[in-house]
Structure 1
């Protein structure tokens, strides 16, 4: 599989696709998870993404499940040094904050960040993670406290790189500026909700933040910052008639973009999912998809997108401007 560098030149070498492990151990059983992970590595995949709260919203789950499955898989395959492992802190349920998630998310206080990495390392069976994310923004903790705590983990060798997810671009900008002023390790990765379709202005996704034009411009001007995207295939809504588009994408221009997407896919003999992945991977700035799959067949479809080329003419057709609402 094609390689790239996470965090720009001199960053972490990773595969062009990142495999999301969110459902492993809950809605995807351990046997199937192992099959997906094995096939991903066989295909040259190296980059795997999880969190210390996946998937706490599934009935009976605690949030330990995904990391535990990955830890057991790494132990049996003995390939820790061959994978780039990312996990997150900040969105795990904290009982003392109440019973309703995500309102009871643990937050990003320094003590929580440190306890979070200890728990993740234990479940993953490793002495470090390659990328550690601040999972969701925490308005209740001073930004300097969080940024300092993450930087300390890099200094100590617990994390090789740090980043953030579900942070608005203004908060990302302030965090990186603060790190530069204090001589701390900056966030070099941001992971947001993003796909080919664009949500209507002001759309709400709860704690999830989606990619905006401001963020794309900010990333494009900073070669040491990488943009990753989750929910890129909208849980199958591009290809499965039984999966409705999330209502946040109900806006003028959506039907036209879907028509163009399907026309381009048919012309080049690809699936709409593959076109979406290629469109992300080869855009300006490039966006690395975090692919979430529940079967080896779905993984195979995604893997084929890495070598799919969209020429300038096709990209111009796909990049039609959405009308103002």
Structure 2
């Protein structure tokens, strides 16, 4: 599989162009299915695996530890730790358990970031993390404290790359500037909700916002900042008639873009999902998709996107499809 580079300690970190998200592993996706998906992903050359210390606390009976614990068992059983790039997150877990979320999210204080690292590493069965994200914004904690906490984990050799998710562009920029001024490693990847369709003006996503044009523009000018996108396939809404578009994307702009997406997919003999993934990877800046799949068949469809060649004309058509 094609590799990309995340800037970080030791000159950077090579990762597969597709990242496997494991949000529902251990809850909605059982052990057998999750192991099969992980096996297939790595057999296909995938190396980048994403989880969090919150997955999936909102499922009945969930605590947030399920995904990391399952991944830890898979890593041990396959002796795969040295063959994968492991990413997890901290800051969004309800504290105390069961408290109203996101008002009572654990936050990004120095103590929480350090304790979260220790707990995640224990569940994953590793002595270091390759990528560690600040999961959602915490405006109660000064950015200086958060930047220092993440930076210290890198300088101590416990984390290779630090990043943030679900942050406003100005917060990403400010945190990076603060870390640089203090001589600390700074966030070099950002993970945000992103897809081919654009949300209608004023659409609300709560603490999990869709990526902004401002953040994309900032990343375009910052060569050391990699962008990853989650919810890229809208839970199947591009291809499944039983999955309506989320309300935030249900507007006239989407109708026009979906029409062009279907045309391009037909011309290439590909699925709409595959075209969406290929479009993200060809973007400016390029966006690494975080795949949310629940079966090997779904994963295989996504892997097919790597074989698509979107030439400049197809990219132009897709980019400008929403214009009346």
**Same fold judged by TM-score > 0.5?**
yes
Equivalent residue number for residue 28 of structure 1:
29
Equivalent residue number for residue 148 of structure 1:
148
Instruction: Tell me if the contact between 2:257 and 2:321 (Cα under 8 Å) persists in the aligned partners.
Output: no
SS at match of 2:147: helix
Instruction: Tell me if the contact between 1:134 and 1:164 (Cα under 8 Å) persists in the aligned partners.
Output: yes
Separation in 2 of the partners of 1:225 and 1:233? 23
Equivalent residue number for residue 176 of structure 1:
176
Separation in 1 of the partners of 2:12 and 2:205? 31
Equivalent residue number for residue 263 of structure 1:
263
Instruction: Tell me if the contact between 1:18 and 1:48 (Cα under 8 Å) persists in the aligned partners.
Output: yes
Shift of 1:11: 1.4
SS at match of 1:151: helix
Aligned pair 1:73/2:78, yes or no? no
Deviations 1:261-295 (A, max 9, x none): 01110111000000000000011110000001000
Equivalent residue number for residue 14 of structure 2:
13
The 5 A counterparts of 1:178-197 are: 178-197=178-197
Shift of 1:323: 5.1
Instruction: Tell me if the contact between 2:260 and 2:321 (Cα under 8 Å) persists in the aligned partners.
Output: no
Separation in 2 of the partners of 1:251 and 1:171? 29
SS at match of 2:222: coil
Separation in 1 of the partners of 2:78 and 2:252? 49
Shift of 1:193: 0.1
Equivalent residue number for residue 48 of structure 1:
49
Instruction: Tell me if the contact between 2:192 and 2:208 (Cα under 8 Å) persists in the aligned partners.
Output: yes
Aligned pair 1:85/2:86, yes or no? yes
Instruction: Tell me if the contact between 1:57 and 1:101 (Cα under 8 Å) persists in the aligned partners.
Output: no
Separation in 2 of the partners of 1:14 and 1:106? 29
Shift of 1:19: 0.2
Most deviating of 1-10 and 42-51: 1-10
Instruction: Tell me if the contact between 1:63 and 1:92 (Cα under 8 Å) persists in the aligned partners.
Output: yes
Separation in 2 of the partners of 1:321 and 1:174? 34
Instruction: Tell me if the contact between 1:252 and 1:323 (Cα under 8 Å) persists in the aligned partners.
Output: no
The 5 A counterparts of 1:1-325 are: 1-7=1-7, 10-95=11-96, 99-320=99-320, 322=322
Shift of 1:100: 1.9
CA RMSD, 1 decimal: 1.4
Separation in 2 of the partners of 1:104 and 1:279? 37
Separation in 1 of the partners of 2:177 and 2:322? 32
Instruction: Tell me if the contact between 2:151 and 2:185 (Cα under 8 Å) persists in the aligned partners.
Output: yes
Instruction: Tell me if the contact between 2:232 and 2:291 (Cα under 8 Å) persists in the aligned partners.
Output: yes
Most deviating of 18-27 and 99-108: 99-108
Separation in 1 of the partners of 2:305 and 2:55? 26
Separation in 2 of the partners of 1:107 and 1:207? 13
Separation in 2 of the partners of 1:66 and 1:3? 25
Separation in 1 of the partners of 2:321 and 2:302? 26
Instruction: Give the TM-score taking structure 1 as reference length.
Output: 0.97
SS at match of 1:270: coil
Query: For structure 2, which runs of at least 5 residues remain unmatched after alignment?
Result: none
Shift of 1:321: 5.8
The aligned length equals 323
Shift of 1:7: 2.6
Shift of 1:200: 1.6
Instruction: Give the TM-score taking structure 2 as reference length.
Output: 0.97
